[in-house]
Amino acid sequence: MGRRNKVLPLLEDIEITGVANEGKAIAKVNDMVVFTQFVVPGDVVDLQITRKKNSYMEGRVVKIKKFSDRRCEAFCSHYGVCGGCKWQILPYEDQLKAKQDQVYNNLLRIGKVELPEISPILGSKNIIRYRNKLEFTFSNKKWLTYEQVASGMSFENEDMNALGFHIPGMFDKVLDIDKCYLQDEICDEIRDCIKSYAKEHDLPFFDLRNKDGFLRTIVVRTASTGEIMLTVVFFKEDKEAREGLLNHLVETFPQITSLIYVINGKCNDTITDQETIVFKGRDHIFEEMEGLKFKIGPKSFYQTNSPQAYELYKVARDFANLTGEELVYDLYTGTGTIACFVARQAKKVVGIEYVPEAIEDAKVNADNNNIDNTLFYAGDMKNILTDTFVAQHGRPDVIITDPPRDGMHPDVVETILKAEPKRIVYVSCNPATQARDLNLLDAKYRVTAIQPVDMFPHTHHVENVVALELK
């Protein structure tokens, strides 16, 4: 006999009391925490419980009975559907407070180390159109909203092609985007132009489930220098169709600095292992920061909020407290942005990064900026940063580390502890894994300064910089 689905309750007149991680809101019902989305503290709602555990529940808002005085009007027509900018109905000052609390709670709860006073979070000057990179996906089966489905309309003859964002948790569902407030308006213009041309010329949009079609993804980069890179990814080659679309883009957007295409016939969308081909212009664009120019290729990582990246790196440099005599290791260096940024204040900087293409860009960035006191190495961090490596290049005075969301591998932490640099500057996009690593470093280091930085307004994501000194 099969297990019956449990009927979960509808909770009425529930007041939202706070915000939580992952952009969720929280309420309390009979001492049990309930997580939900797309509401703010002070809202009174009816909640349909969708999941019930011993210590918490999850629910979907069915009706808002009373709007909070703290609620803002959503500025995007796609709010609540695309999955991005979940906090746009929360005042920005409230967002910053929530992120500050997130940093504090993670460091205290997970890190379990002695903490100094945390500096007030650095808010972003731009809270819309702050991103320098967006990726959009083609799909021949666009996502229909709940309202559209509930209407009973027939979509048999409806144009089901979409160019937009994946619906969270649904790999084969794409929301067709009309307007996105994350990037410069030129991004909307380029996306709409491609979509219109593709429909007019019957270019097949990608079938995400059956892995077939022609148009797969586009990536738009807009640099602080005004330069634009557009990467168009096709599933298979069709020279006539490809050249028709790309020539149309050249004619329509002469301001595009770098027009690149990729033929990606793999199952996944990543292009790191694919050939990138220049159709028009350069194979790169430049970002600029404090007089330094950084080469950005189609596979390069660069902080997606350029002005705020400058603020972040200034914090990291200040925490490093360089005098010009230090040997600095820059771990997870990417394209060498931080390495070049601090090189003028250091004796020597050694950068390590997993992606070989990024390291090549890092070397070019150093050369272009006449920086001759850097060395860069490509490879898995835990395999490169060893006792032998430290013995060869010298014991670092300062380590700056900016790992991915998973944090540092335990072997990397162990090598750092053995190397015993005087100072560590830990830049993190995930305070939870940062806190875990701080707990490991606590064997020899004490935390001396903490500075959260908001890189992504209207989201729960927060960067955090921690300074540590040898005990």
CATH of 94-127+305-470, one of 3.40.50.300, 3.40.50.150, 3.30.420.40, 1.10.357.10: 3.40.50.150
Nearest-angstrom CA–CA distance, 178 and 463: 30
Question: What CATH architecture does domain 133-288 belong to?
Answer: Beta Barrel (2.40)
**Pick from 279, 273, 274, 209: which is nearest to 236 by CA?**
274
Residue 337, phi then psi, degrees to nearest 5: -60, -55
Residue 9 tokens, joined? 């309750």
Question: Tens digit of pLDDT per residue, the chain (471 long)?
Answer: 444 567 889 999 999 999 987 778 999 998 899 999 999 999 999 999 999 998 899 999 999 999 999 999 999 999 988 888 999 999 999 999 999 999 999 999 999 999 999 999 999 999 999 999 999 999 998 887 666 656 656 566 568 899 999 988 777 889 999 999 999 999 999 999 999 999 999 999 999 999 999 999 999 999 999 999 999 999 999 999 999 999 999 999 999 999 999 999 998 999 989 999 999 999 999 999 999 999 998 988 889 999 999 999 999 999 999 999 999 999 999 889 999 999 999 999 999 998 888 899 899 999 999 999 999 999 999 899 999 999 999 999 999 999 999 999 999 999 999 999 999 999 999 999 999 999 999 999 999 999 999 999 999 999 999 999 999
Pairing of the two strands 10-15 and 18-19 = unpaired
C-alpha closest to that of 143 among 163, 123, 126, 122: 163
**Distance, CA of 108 to CA of 439 (rounded, Å):** 10
CA separation for the pair 76, 178 (Å, rounded): 10
Helix (H) or strand (E) holding 343: helix 337-343
- Domain coordinates in residue numbering, the chain: 10-71, 94-127+305-470, 133-288
Strand, coil or helix: 295: strand
Tokens of 21: 């991680």
Catalytic residue among 76, 85, 180, 429: 429
Question: How far apart (Å, rounded) are the C-alpha atoms in residues 166 and 171?
Answer: 7
What is the four-CA torsion angle of 400, 404, 405, 407, rounded to 10 degrees?
A: -50
Class assignment of domain 10-71?
mainly beta
Catalytic residue status for 340:
no
**Within this chain, domains 10-71 and 133-288 share the same CATH topology:** yes
Name the β-bridge partners of 11. 47
Two structure tokens written together for 41: 């503290």
